[in-house]
Amino acid sequence: MPAPTASFSPDRGYRLNPNVALRPEPFGALAYHFGNRRLSFLKDLALVELVEHLGEHPSAREALATLPAAQHEPTLRALAVLAATDMIVPV
Amino acid sequence: MLVEQFKHGLNAPICLTWEWTYACNLACAHCLSSSGRRDPMELSTDEIKSVIDELQRMQVFYINVGGGEPTVRADFWELLDYAIAHQVGVKFSTNGLRITPERARQLAATDYVDVQISLDGATREVNDAVRGPGSYDMAIRAMENLAEAGFENFKISVVMTRQNVSQLDDFAAIADRYGAQLRITRLRPSGRGADVWDELHPTAEQQLELYDWLVGHGERVLTGDSFFHLNALGSEPIPGLNLCGAGRVVCLIDPVGDVYACPFAIHDAFKAGNVRSPGGFAEVWQSSSLFQELRGEQTGGACRSCSAYDVCQGGCMAAKFFTGLPLDGPDPECVKGHGATALAAVDRAALPPQGTDHSHKGPVRSQPVSLGMPALKVSRPDRFCDESPLAGMEAR
Ligand code: SF4
Ligand code: SF4
């Protein structure tokens, strides 16, 4: 997995890039970016749910509130990668 | 690893090859679909459009269109526009026939389209021996036109043979010259490829050469799922899809609408259904018994005890099938030599016949004349999952 390049800051608001479609899959979802034609795999349903509703929260950190604390760090790392690949964008 | 998720199949394919016609202006010796003549039962313009609608509903975000030579269809450009307008991006494979300066400019100005030019030799001599006289010049002209029009990063697709493994650096240089990306694929004994496989498939030393080259250059070169059987050669896996995705993430729709597990497996044994049947493509993908079976646990058979099984997975199902080897055993090009041993015991007369044959019947203008090989039968090769289905993919 490449290291995130674009800077991601958990205190900003993000949303799913309007250029990205999520396709439900048994394990989570497949995200397709129509602009850069990248595929990403969201490998669990909680992350899919979070990403779908990300835009409704003032910041990425606040969006995590519903998840168990132990998942906050890994989820922030996942979001950082999604931001680096332009799958989610700042609001 | 994602491979685990893939094994049980996805809701829709991510690597869908769709051949729009069996007609072709060329007669390549190793054509995987034995193309040449149009089939009278080919899908009509409206039928293709309705399958595109279905793919849009299933969220199949892009397809690999091939043939035959897809651009010989009179409705090719109309269908291309239709797919793109329905959020189904297209990469199409061509021998360059219709890539004029005007078409190149039109393509360069279109989003969601990618072009893949087939080239099987870095020199005219090596290419034309397999693809036929004039085919090298035609491909190069198409590349010049695309580069001139500012089409960046189109693909140059090469089927690796005994005659061109030594030209890998030259292919990379050609790709650089035109601002293109190199894609190399494996010669499989499919279609007319079965007739030339013995003479043309790379030797064991060449497999090693290829592996080393890929380990050094693999990040910039696309391979799809071509070479995962070579992973057993070393500790470094080659970038790309490292499993047989047939029926799990890969499939083929042929020009008459038949759905096969893989473009290299055009045979009744791998036919899952037809898009014209009630329920259409979605029903075939989701419910065909063949695909269900391919998504189940595979036993691994004789490969199970091999130390390389995890990275090699026993190789390519189609290559095994058409060389008469058991599907749960080693690949014919098994780098541990088990394939060669197994091949020696195969009764050549009992090999499974290829599924369909649309080869030109008479001589063709661009008949290939093989290099130091007996005269070959004739038409055209590769196209497969355009790039790696996982190109640029991030595993989350
Ligand atoms: S049968 Fe061979 S070519 Fe087809 S998906 Fe499997 S490994 Fe790839
Ligand atoms: S024995 Fe099977 S798993 Fe081992 S290298 Fe050969 S094909 Fe691959």
CA of B301 from ligand 2 middle (Å) equals: 10
- Positive or negative: CA dihedral B99, B218, B266, B281: negative
In the prediction, which pLDDT does B109 show? 96
Residue B59 φ then ψ, to 5° = 60, 45
Rg (CA), chain B: 19
Cβ of B246 below 6 Å from ligand 1: yes
Q: Contact B5/A27, CB-based, under 8 Å? A: yes
Q: Token pair for residue A79? A: 């979001």
Residue B125 in 3-state DSSP?
A: helix
Question: What interface predicted TM-score (ipTM) does this complex get?
Answer: 0.84
Mean pLDDT of B172-185: 96
Domains, chain A, ordered by start: 14-86 (3.90.930)
Cβ of B258 below 6 Å from ligand 1: no
CB contact B365 to A (< 8 Å): no
Rg (CA), chain A: 12
**Model confidence pLDDT, tens digit, residues B14-61:** 889 999 999 999 989 999 999 999 999 999 999 999 999 999 999 999
B58-69 residues labelled b (16+ CB within 10 A) or e (exposed) = bbbbbbbbbbbb
Task: Measure the CA–CA gap between B32 and B301, rounded to whole angstroms.
Answer: 27
B382 pLDDT exceeds 70?
no
Q: How confident is the model at residue A2 (pLDDT cuts 50, 70, 90)?
A: very low
Least Cα distance to A82 among A14, A13, A23 occurs for A14
For chain B, what percent of residues have pLDDT higher than 90? 65
Cβ of B333 below 6 Å from ligand 1: no
At B210, the amino acid letter reads L
Task: Measure the CA–CA gap between A40 and B282, rounded to whole angstroms.
Answer: 22
**Model confidence pLDDT, tens digit, residues A12-58:** 999 999 999 999 998 889 999 988 888 888 888 899 999 999 999 99
Decide: A15 and A88 in contact? Cβ < 8 Å.
yes
Decide: B11 and B250 in contact? Cβ < 8 Å.
no
Place of tokens 């190069």: B140
